[in-house]
Amino acid sequence: MVIFDCNGVLVDSEPLVAEVVSREFMRAGFALTPEIVARYFTGRRPADMFADVEIAAGRRLPPNFATVLTNEILKRFRADLRVTAHAAHALAWLRGPKCVASSSGIDRIRLSLETTGLLRFFEPFLFSASEVRHGKPAPDLFLHAAARMRVDARNCIVVEDSPVGVAAGVAAGMRVIGFAGGSHAGPAMLEQLRAAGANVVITDMRALKGTIIDLRGW
C-alpha cells in the first residue's frame, strides 16, 4: 500500500498555508512570519502548532482562532490551490491500495482533493491526524491508516514532503519516499528529507511509479 501525505505532496499548498497562518497569527497579536511558520510547523497538526505557540508566547490564542484559521485556509484553497505537477498522471498509473494520511483536518483534506480533481483516486480512504493521539513525527497516523486499510505496516510505502512526516513513516516501520518537488521545497530540502530517514528522494511525480516499483523489490 502507498500512503500519501496531502499538503506539499498531492497539492501545492504549503506557501498558501504559510501566508494565511502567518496573517491570522499576526491579527491575533502573535508575531509569526510565513518563514517561521514554514520552518517550524510544516507537516505538523494545527493543534500541536497552537500549543507550541501558546507555550512560547506565554499566553492563549483567542477562543475562536482554530475555526477562523480553518475557514481562511479553506477560502484561500478554493481560490488558489493547485494540484502538484504530474500528480494525477502518477496516481492513474499506480496499482494497488492507496490512501491519504495528513496532519490536516478531514474537511481540509477532502476540499484539497476535490478542488484539484484528485479525490476520485482515494475516496473514502482519507485519514487525519486529528483521529490519533499523537501527530507527526510520531508514527500514530500512519499506523492508524495501515490498520484501517488492513495492511501490515512493513508493506507500506509513505510519500512525504516534510522531515517530520518522513520521521513518522520511519518510526512506523515503513519505507519512505521523500518528495521535494513542491514550490516550497528549496535545494536544502533534499538533504533534510534524507537526514530524516527517507529511503529515496524525488523531485518530480513522474518518477513516482518507478521509485515505488524499486522499493517494492527491496
- What tens digit of pLDDT does each residue of 146-168 get? 999 999 999 999 999 999 999 99
Among 113, 90, 93, CA closest to 102: 113
Please state the φ and ψ torsions of residue 33, each to the nearest 5 degrees: -80, 165
Measured CA angle at 117 (ends 163, 10), to 5 deg:
10
DSSP state letter for 44: S
- What tens digit of pLDDT does each residue of 6-41 get? 999 999 999 999 999 999 999 999 999 999 998 889
CA dist 105 and 175 (Å) reads 24
Domains (range + CATH), the chain: 2-12+81-216 (3.40.50.1000), 14-80 (1.10.150.240)
Cell 523489490 found at: 217
- What pLDDT is stored for residue 217 in this prediction? 75
160, containing H or E segment: strand 157-160
